Structure 1
């Protein structure tokens, strides 16, 4: 059943990219709203492993990451994940650099060894998430709920994170903290 839901999502998004110009849409456009509806419906039905596959697909399709061109500010992602149910997401060892996951629920997510350089994690729920050995350099963690998150060995240099947030996470000698903390 999980595979069927995932394949239907992949087919729907692929169709919107190939036949309905999803890449040229912005938040609020009908095609963009349809893509978000397909995605959010699927995410509510998927387990953590399959949510991970869905997010990896969207990231590799350049739909949820900032588009970075030298000497220019990054452009916003095609699809906003604000409010996405990513609870229990299993995506260890992945590359999500510059990903926009703001205002989503990543509680109990497995993001061990994941590259989250410059990721937008603004106001994300990361309660009890496993961020051990994740690279969060330059990540925006402003307003993120990190209570109980495992940051053992994580690289938080240049991350936007407050001392009060750090007080709620598990850190060890191997954790690289921002200079400002």
Structure 2
């Protein structure tokens, strides 16, 4: 398996050497220029400046005139000495700063090499036939993501690719069936595929949040997964099979769940603002107090779904199947329900006029989820 992205490989050693050579040449140029300037300055102070700062005057003797110019020289040399002390301090600070920079660069190079080695080792572990070894590789990648915000994207790419490859829907093996879903007959994902559940737990708890990464779980088998309080806003899980999954209090804002199967899933108190749920199956799902403001639920299957106290302001439920759905204590004043289908088992908010909302009434329907 080749998951290691080129973006996390260290920079070329040649580029690093060129960079170091540039910094090693610059101080020599500065020292040469400073030496020349110092010689010129001393010559000016000793030869040129004294007569200029000591204008012609009548002295009793030539010795007095020389003494006057020497006093000027002494004053100028003292000023130059102070300037040299200040210059030396500045140069010392400059070289100290350069040393610190070079040391930091060396540390960064060493750290980058360590991260690359950890990546390579972890990816090799993902290809093992032993579950414990794969779990070790998954946890190693999780630590890299926690330690380095820059490498978080690469880790997510690797882990999501692993899920799409090892847990696709439809399944690669025809003997994997979906019987007994409504009765909880599907074993928990942690029992069926501990490595896949471990990855979902990591993705749902990234310290930097999923806003910086692209979580791609399109067409994956996540039946009976545990994603309680997971933070996966903006993820793409279109077509995923998530029957009986536990997503209570999860942040699924702006997620793409088109054609996803969330039958009998637990979405109580989940954040689904702006989510794309058109044509998704939510039959029998628990959406009690879920935030669905601005969500697209056009043609979604919501038969028998529990939507009590859910927030549906601005949501699109056109042509949605609402047979047997429970919508008690829900504000539907700004919800688009045109051509949605309901039946006698649908429970509406008090004083709600379903006819005026453009809802169609289906007679003698079976409220069970398809």
Deviation at 1:136, TM superposition (A): 0.3
Q: Does 1:109 align with 2:270?
A: no
Question: What RMSD, in angstroms, separates the aligned Cα atoms of the two structures?
Answer: 3.8
Aligned to 1:89: 255
Distance 1:48 1:118 in 2: 31
Residue 163 to residue 144, structure 1, CA distance change in 2 (3 Å) = closer
Contact 1:96–1:119 under 8 Å retained in 2: yes
Aligned to 2:340: 175
Distance 2:342 2:153 in 1: 38
Bigger Rg, structure 1 or 2: 2
Deviation at 1:46, TM superposition (A): 5.2
Consecutive unaligned residues in structure 2, runs of 5 or more:
1-151, 167-188, 227-243, 349-370
Range moving further from structure 2, 158-167 or 33-42: 33-42
Deviation at 1:130, TM superposition (A): 0.2
Q: Report 1:1-12 matches (<5 A).
A: 4-5=155-156, 7-8=158-159
Deviation at 1:150, TM superposition (A): 0.3
Aligned to 2:321: 155
Q: Does 1:63 align with 2:200?
A: no
Aligned to 2:284: 118
Residue 49 to residue 127, structure 1, CA distance change in 2 (3 Å) = farther
When normalised by structure 2's length, the TM-score is: 0.35
Which of the pair is proportionally richer in helix? 2
When normalised by structure 1's length, the TM-score is: 0.66
Residue 99 to residue 89, structure 1, CA distance change in 2 (3 Å) = same
The total of aligned residue pairs comes to 155
1:53-100 superposed Cα distances (whole Å, 9 cap, x missing partner):
27x63xx332249xxxxxxxxxxx5x6422211110111122221122
Alignment equivalent of 1:40, drawn from 204, 215, 218 = 204
Instruction: Pick 1 or 2: higher relative contact order, CA cutoff 8 A, min separation 6.
Output: 1
